[in-house]
Amino acid sequence: MKVLLPFQAMNQYAEHVPAAYRASACGPVTAASILLYHEGVAPGIGPLYKYLGTTPIGLSAFCLIRRLRKMAGPRYDIKRVRTTEQIKLQLDAGYPLAVKFDRYFSMRWRQKTTFAYHWVPLIGYEETPNDLLLYIHDNGQKNGVVPGKPGRIEFRPDFTGVEVR
């Protein structure tokens, strides 16, 4: 089975992202792109960066969940997703997820990980006989994201998923 949501990519190195924030704006850009998917309009990255509590080393899942709940109010259900079944249910229902890959705080310093520390929108999956493949938009490519060209990665337990629906 394959699910791939129609998703408009954003890029943390775009001109509208303040230059001082670009290196660590993957979390706010991921949140903004998911809000764009739901609302048709995205908040400004600069104000969102500050509001979510993003720092030069990134954005914690705790801060993203807590502050996005406060910002969005009761219109959205924002919570941590812990299983592949929950991921598939959300994507089957048409909801993209914010995913944080984190080698450092997940205690996987020496393991091969997809990203060392990076937030991306998770926009689909594909079940194969031997694997679960996830479709993401890497919004941290300095050469830009190609809309409609999501990346495909193998599932590994090195990320935290956040549901925004």
For 97-154, how does the pLDDT look when each residue is reduced to its tens digit (9 = 90+)?
A: 998 876 545 545 456 655 556 789 999 999 888 888 888 888 877 765 554 456 655 5
For 9-59, how does the pLDDT look when each residue is reduced to its tens digit (9 = 90+)?
A: 899 999 999 999 999 999 999 999 999 999 999 999 999 999 999 999 899
| Class of residue 14 by CB neighbours under 10 A (exposed 0-12, middle 13-18, buried 19+) | middle
72 neighbors 82 (Cβ within 8 angstroms): no
Q: What is the pLDDT of residue 148?
A: 47
b (16+ CB within 10 A) / e for 23-56: ebbbbbbbbbbbbbbbeeebbebeebbebbebee
To the nearest 10°, report the CA torsion of 20, 23, 28, 29: 110
